[in-house]
Amino acid sequence: MKFVVYISGALLLLLAVACSSSGSGQLGPVGGAGSGVAAGTQSPGQGGTTTQPPISGNAPDTSGIGGGGGPITGPTGGNTPVSTGGASGPQTGSGGTTVVNPIDAGPLDGGGTQPNQPVEPEDKEPVVTSKDPKIPEIAGDCPPFARGAFNFMGLSGLMEVGAKSNGTAPLVWFWHGTVMAASSYIGIPVAMVTGEGGVIVAPNGPAAGEAGAMCSGTMIFGDTVTWEVMDQITACAVRDYGVDPHRIYGTGCSAGGLQSGCMAGRRSAYVAAVAPNSGGLVMPFMQWQDPGHVPAVMTMHGGPADVVGISFTTSSASLDSAAKTAGGFVVNCNHGGMHCGAPGNLYQAAIEFFYAHPFGFDVSPYEGGLPANFPSYCSIYE
What CATH number does residue 163 fall under?
3.40.50.1820
Do residues 99 and 230 both lie within one domain?
no
Do residues 184 and 82 both lie within one domain?
no
- Domain membership of residue 151 (yes or no) is yes
Do residues 138 and 116 both lie within one domain?
no
Average pLDDT over residues 34-48: 36
Q: Return the pLDDT at 215.
A: 77
Q: CB within 8 A of 218, min separation 6: which ones?
A: 7, 12, 15, 178, 212, 255, 258, 259
Cα 218 to Cα 178: distance, rounded to the nearest angstrom: 9
pLDDT tens sequence across 245-278: 999 999 999 999 999 999 999 999 999 999 999 9
Do residues 19 and 86 both lie within one domain?
no
Of 2-6, 164-168, 197-201, give the lowest mean pLDDT range.
2-6
**What is the distance of C-alpha 343 from the center of its chain?**
16
Cα 283 to Cα 157: distance, rounded to the nearest angstrom: 26
User: Nearest-CA neighbor of 281 among 293, 270, 292, 297?
Assistant: 297
| Whether pLDDT at 49 is above 70 | no
- Domain membership of residue 211 (yes or no) is yes
Do residues 106 and 154 both lie within one domain?
no
Residue range of the domain that includes 50? 34-64+71-124
- Phi then psi for residue 201, to 5 deg, are -115, 120
Q: Return the pLDDT at 355.
A: 98
Average model confidence (pLDDT) for the chain? 74
Do residues 266 and 328 both lie within one domain?
yes
Do residues 215 and 335 both lie within one domain?
yes
Q: Is 160 within 8 Å of 199 (Cβ atoms)? A: yes
Domain boundary among 102, 124, 146: 124
| Whether pLDDT at 232 is above 60 | yes
**What is the distance of C-alpha 155 from the center of its chain?**
24
Do residues 294 and 162 both lie within one domain?
yes
Do residues 269 and 150 both lie within one domain?
yes
| Most confident region among 18-22, 100-104, 146-150 by mean pLDDT | 146-150
Instruction: Supply the pTM of this predicted model.
Output: 0.68
- Domain membership of residue 374 (yes or no) is no
- Domain membership of residue 2 (yes or no) is no
Count of the separate structural domains present in the chain: 2
| Whether pLDDT at 107 is above 70 | no
Do residues 47 and 167 both lie within one domain?
no
Kind of pairing, strands 243-253 and 273-277? Answer: parallel
- Domain membership of residue 372 (yes or no) is no
- Domain membership of residue 179 (yes or no) is yes
**Better-predicted residue by pLDDT, 356 or 12:** 356
Please give the C-alpha separations between residue 297 and each of 29, 190, 365, in angstroms, as whole numbers: 22, 20, 14
Do residues 116 and 184 both lie within one domain?
no
User: Nearest-CA neighbor of 356 among 27, 77, 37, 32?
Assistant: 77
- Domain membership of residue 207 (yes or no) is yes
Share of the chain above pLDDT 90, in %: 57
User: Nearest-CA neighbor of 378 among 289, 316, 326?
Assistant: 316
Q: Return the pLDDT at 223.
A: 81
Do residues 162 and 257 both lie within one domain?
yes
- Domain membership of residue 379 (yes or no) is no
User: Nearest-CA neighbor of 218 among 258, 265, 261?
Assistant: 258
Q: Return the pLDDT at 213.
A: 61
pLDDT tens sequence across 272-321: 999 999 999 988 766 899 999 999 999 999 999 999 999 999 999 999 99
pLDDT tens sequence across 12-24: 333 433 433 333 3
